[in-house]
Copies of this chain bind each other. A is one copy, B any other.
């Protein structure tokens, strides 16, 4: 067990172009913010920074919810935090499952001893709100949960209809915004969402490590009416609101420097302007799709359900998808994602999230993919992709 520190190379991670399902490229200002001097978690200067983070997150979530903050963990921690606070053993919960992250929510709810009703569709498809109404079946239901932007499939759901269906039986509505927040509009208050969670490493151009969450007054009321304490102390929103709320009581030591990064990321986003950020994601998504299609490849999601920030490209028959990803990584320092769950081996997931969603990255990706596929002997249309993308940029509408 003795350690020879000289046998460890100095830290020097390669500069990858991150075009997978997240993490995406952090903004350079965000990486710099990470290294600012650490403050104590009760320092007045840090408490002021927490206020800023909350104000900015409320604006981004489209909410006035006082209980809007960052969970000290990654996106899955935010998912668990929302479920563990909203649910207790025996509660009826309806979960829309159209990908890996819906499956994950159902797994967490089942560990909590809930009466779980799943609404399942094959991965890659959308879910009709009518199917959720059928599953609710007019019965008393505590929570209806759905994934707004399924990172595993690239499919978006329309949330207002789902929230309305939930409220018909007075259920809370929980949405997973991990991949949507900052990439496409999220309107928590206007849509009637009661709990939402996201993550820093997708469209916020920030490294992974925090999970922004928001809970409506209805959700907080439900919390107050619980018969039992949440099974988790770390994620107990009733305790966390004393730290993130005005009394500032110590709960746990917040990840100080990650919160610097999140504040900076949110400022970068609002400096560009939220509508412009959404438009940028959409524009480069359209260019990327045009290029991919011009190459003779197919997108795995039907157009009305496509997420701009996550583009699942079908792997052509007979192609070793992992070899393509490895060549892109080794020869281009370019990371794209594999398929997850039932889509494993069938798609590549190409992310255009946050700071990654820029014209130069689309050009690099299209060029690198064309070169690698051609070299591996895959039949594609050569020399077409860039022109097709260029046409989108020339006429952004």
Contacts and interface: CB of A to CB of B under 8 A. Distances in A.
A38 B23 contact: yes
A14 interface: yes
A270 B209 contact: no
B39 A257 contact: no
26 contacts: A5-B267, A8-B56, A11-B36, A13-B49, A13-B260, A14-B37, A14-B39, A16-B39, A18-B38, A23-B40, A43-B335, A72-B77, A75-B252, A75-B253, A77-B252, A80-B232, A107-B233, A111-B230, A201-B256, A207-B256, A208-B254, A208-B256, A208-B257, A209-B256, A232-B232, A250-B340
A271 interface: yes
A220 to B, nearest CB: 19
Given A40-B18, A257-B209, A231 B111 contact: yes
B34 A233 contact: no
Interface string A39-75: 1110111100100100110110010100000001111
B233 A80 contact: yes
A38 B25 contact: yes
A350 to B, nearest CB: 13
B252 A56 contact: no
A97 to B, nearest CB: 15
A209 B200 CA distance: 14
Contact of A52 (B8, B35, B76, B258): B8
Which of A11, A253, A263, A329 gathers most chain B CB within 10 Å? A253
Interface of A: 1-3, 5, 8, 11-16, 18, 20, 22-23, 25-26, 31-41, 43-46, 49, 52, 55-56, 58-59, 62, 64, 72-77, 79-80, 84, 104, 107-108, 111-112, 199, 201, 207-209, 229-234, 250-258, 260-261, 263-264, 267, 270-271, 329, 335, 340
A80 B234 contact: yes
Give me the 5 closest cross-chain CB pairs, A-B, nearest first: A209-B255, A76-B252, A34-B34, A207-B257, A31-B35
Contact of A263 (B11, B32, B250): B11
- DSSP majority for the A interface? loop
B25 A199 contact: no
A254 B13 contact: no
A256 B79 CA distance: 19
A254 B3 CA distance: 25
Given A16-B39, A20-B40, A255-B258, 12 more contacts: A5-B267, A8-B52, A14-B39, A16-B40, A22-B253, A31-B36, A73-B73, A104-B233, A112-B231, A209-B255, A231-B232, A258-B258
A14 B45 contact: yes
B208 A267 contact: no
A151 to B, nearest CB: 10
Contacts of A62: 1
A73 B40 contact: no
A43 B18 CA distance: 10
Contacts of A15: 37
Given A52-B8, A59-B2, A111-B231, A32 B33 contact: no
A2 B270 CA distance: 10
Given A11-B264, A77-B73, A267-B8, A1 B58 contact: yes
Nearest to A33: B11
